[in-house]
Chain A
Amino acid sequence: MLTFEGVSVTTDDGAELLRSVDVVVRHGAITVLAGPSGAGKSTLLRLGNRLMVPTSGRVRFHDVDVADLDPRELRRRVGMVFQRPVVFPGTVRDNLLVADPTATEDRLSEVLVSCSLGPAVLDRVADQLSGGEAQRACIARTLLTGPEVVLMDEPTSSLDPSSRRSVEHLARGLADDGLGVLWVTHDLVQAHRLGDELVVLVEGRNADDDETAAYLAGEDDEEAG
């Protein structure tokens, strides 16, 4: 559904963030993108909905190069959840309406319930939610655009264990509903627990079998937790 084909990213000052990386995200599955900090995981994710563009290589969505798609339309079909919950000023309702200004109350309630939040949070000030609630509200906001793929950039790294399980459960539900999920983590335990498919990046490229084995054995992961 969403494929990254030999994508490379080099910054203006010559730093190579990604080197010819291949990743496939399929319908109804969670693809976990793992690797040590600085391996280029977040950069790859940002290529998926064109918040960045590759220096070379292609990103395809339903076999169409994303460079040929209207980025606004692409971003509604390939949603993104950031590492830290990013809430906008105002209430949860205000936040949700940014994603879909025409959404009815029923639709807002429905999407909140699907993210284990009750309709009662609609009138709460978004930046007063707990970390877990805020992240689930952000996922609800993303789901309001009706995405087919959700890119999740370490979405549980700032959450407590209970909230972490809740967000993981939510991602599993999305995959079971047929969405493609690309989940970035450097938490090996979580990668094993959650991933239907696993891709390991090392130093901005796909890890080979030995490097993957070494990483999974925990040799390169200083921050796994």
Chain B
Amino acid sequence: MSETSIGWAGLAASLVLVAIAVAVSGWQRLRLSRSILWACARAAAQLALVGVALRLVLDPGAPVAWAFVWVAVMVVFSGATIRNRAREVPGIFGLGTAAMLTVVVVSLAVILGFGMFPVEGRTIVPLAGMMIGNSMTASVLVGRRIVGELSDKRLEVEARLALGQPWPEAARPYVRSALRTALVPQVESTKAVGLVFLPGAMTGLVLAGTNAADAVTIQLAIMYLILGSVATSITVVGLGLTRRLFTADHRLRVLARPVR
């Protein structure tokens, strides 16, 4: 067993905490025992499958092209996930996929272009995954929020249009509010890093034996990239979605009420 491997025994030990969660559920009659066990089993099955596939991509001898194929699949899956989480948002699959593609292209161009990390499957896949994972959540939030704001404030928006404002101007206060809402959690998380929590990448590096100074540098670079990715993705979704919600002759389309 290597220094960074916990082995089967270590994995089994982590189930003690699952047992505690199940015990609490039973004791307090939360009726969550089945869900907890199902979630654990499902996570194990999914990660086992991903692990097998990842071995093909991350193998040092594997062509780098496999890593890019993996990232392309992640982009499409993230678009589908965004759609599933924001079904009331029209055209969100296309917008979400376009946003994730933009995020991946921009962030990998910076990471690989400036030589921050070597061009290898073991760097491309996890880094792209982190960018997509964080941007996906923000994209769902901004999409739902824009539809919610424009639906709730429809009268205000139409009053602005009725004064002769073009749609980008009439929508601006509400879109700006939605963009802020989607970006603030990432900004707050960036501000709190190190004080309140140690992020996953840094924790992983420390556990893997990387010295603290290197772990901090890498984590900082990743945090900055994530912040930029989230800002990029919500801009793509925000502007693209707002354009879709208005007609060419400056009318607000009929919107589905968001499910709260």
Which residues of A does B touch, CB under 8 Å?
12, 49-53, 71-73, 75-76, 79-80, 82, 84, 86, 88-89, 98-99, 138, 141-142, 145
Contact of A52 (CB < 8 Å), options: B155, B173, B251: B251
Known: A72-B165, A72-B166, A98-B165. A88 touches B249 (CB 8 A): no
Chosen A-B contacts, 8 in total, with CB atoms closer than 8 Å, are A12-B254, A53-B249, A53-B251, A75-B162, A79-B162, A82-B162, A89-B173, A98-B165
Interface string of B242-260 (1 = CB under 8 A from A): 0000000111001000000
Interface residue? B163 (CB, 8 A)? yes
Docked complex Cα distance between A142 and B165 (Å): 12
A86 & B155 in contact (Cβ 8 Å cutoff): yes
Q: Smallest Cβ distance from B156 to chain A, in angstroms?
A: 6
Q: Smallest Cβ distance from A79 to chain B, in angstroms?
A: 7
Q: Which of B158-176 contact A (CB under 8 A)?
A: 158-166, 173
Using Cβ atoms and an 8 Å threshold, which residues of chain B touch A75? Answer: 161-164
Which 7 residue pairs of A and B lie closest in terms of their CB atoms, listed nearest first?
Answer: A76-B164, A86-B159, A80-B162, A75-B164, A72-B164, A71-B249, A99-B163
Residue of A with least CB distance to B166: A72
Using Cβ atoms and an 8 Å threshold, which residues of chain A touch B161? Answer: 51, 75
Q: Which of B138-170 contact A (CB under 8 A)?
A: 155-156, 158-166
Q: Smallest Cβ distance from A90 to chain B, in angstroms?
A: 10
Q: Smallest Cβ distance from A67 to chain B, in angstroms?
A: 8
A142 & B163 in contact (Cβ 8 Å cutoff): yes
A50 & B165 in contact (Cβ 8 Å cutoff): no
Using Cβ atoms and an 8 Å threshold, which residues of chain B touch A82? Answer: 155, 158-159, 162
Known: A82-B155, A86-B155. A71 touches B250 (CB 8 A): yes
Residue of B with least CB distance to A72: B164
Docked complex Cα distance between A49 and B162 (Å): 7
Q: Smallest Cβ distance from A110 to chain B, in angstroms?
A: 18
Using Cβ atoms and an 8 Å threshold, which residues of chain B touch A12? Answer: 254
Interface string of B44-59 (1 = CB under 8 A from A): 0000000000000000
Docked complex Cα distance between A217 and B163 (Å): 37
Docked complex Cα distance between A138 and B249 (Å): 24
A88 & B159 in contact (Cβ 8 Å cutoff): yes
Interface string of B116-140 (1 = CB under 8 A from A): 0000000000000000000000000
Docked complex Cα distance between A39 and B164 (Å): 27
Q: Smallest Cβ distance from B151 to chain A, in angstroms?
A: 15
Using Cβ atoms and an 8 Å threshold, which residues of chain B touch A86? Answer: 155-156, 159
Docked complex Cα distance between A96 and B230 (Å): 36
Residue of A with least CB distance to B250: A71
Known: A71-B249, A71-B250. A51 touches B162 (CB 8 A): yes
Docked complex Cα distance between A49 and B249 (Å): 11
Docked complex Cα distance between A88 and B162 (Å): 13
Using Cβ atoms and an 8 Å threshold, which residues of chain A touch B251? Answer: 50-53, 71
Docked complex Cα distance between A157 and B28 (Å): 54
Known: A82-B159, A86-B159, A88-B156. A73 touches B249 (CB 8 A): no
Using Cβ atoms and an 8 Å threshold, which residues of chain A touch B162? Answer: 49, 51, 75, 79-80, 82, 142
Using Cβ atoms and an 8 Å threshold, which residues of chain A touch B250? Answer: 71-72
B249 & A76 in contact (Cβ 8 Å cutoff): no
Q: Smallest Cβ distance from A76 to chain B, in angstroms?
A: 4
Q: Which of B204-252 contact A (CB under 8 A)?
A: 249-251
* Residue of B159, B249, B251 with most partner-chain A CB within 10 A: B159
Docked complex Cα distance between A52 and B165 (Å): 16
Q: Given contacts A51-B158, A98-B163, A142-B162, list 18 more A-B pairs with CB under 8 A.
A: A50-B251, A51-B162, A51-B251, A52-B251, A53-B251, A71-B250, A72-B166, A72-B250, A75-B163, A76-B164, A82-B155, A82-B158, A82-B162, A86-B156, A88-B159, A88-B173, A89-B173, A138-B159
Residue of A with least CB distance to B170: A98
Docked complex Cα distance between A66 and B159 (Å): 19
Q: Smallest Cβ distance from A103 to chain B, in angstroms?
A: 12
B155 & A84 in contact (Cβ 8 Å cutoff): yes
Using Cβ atoms and an 8 Å threshold, which residues of chain B touch A52? Answer: 251
Q: Smallest Cβ distance from B154 to chain A, in angstroms?
A: 10
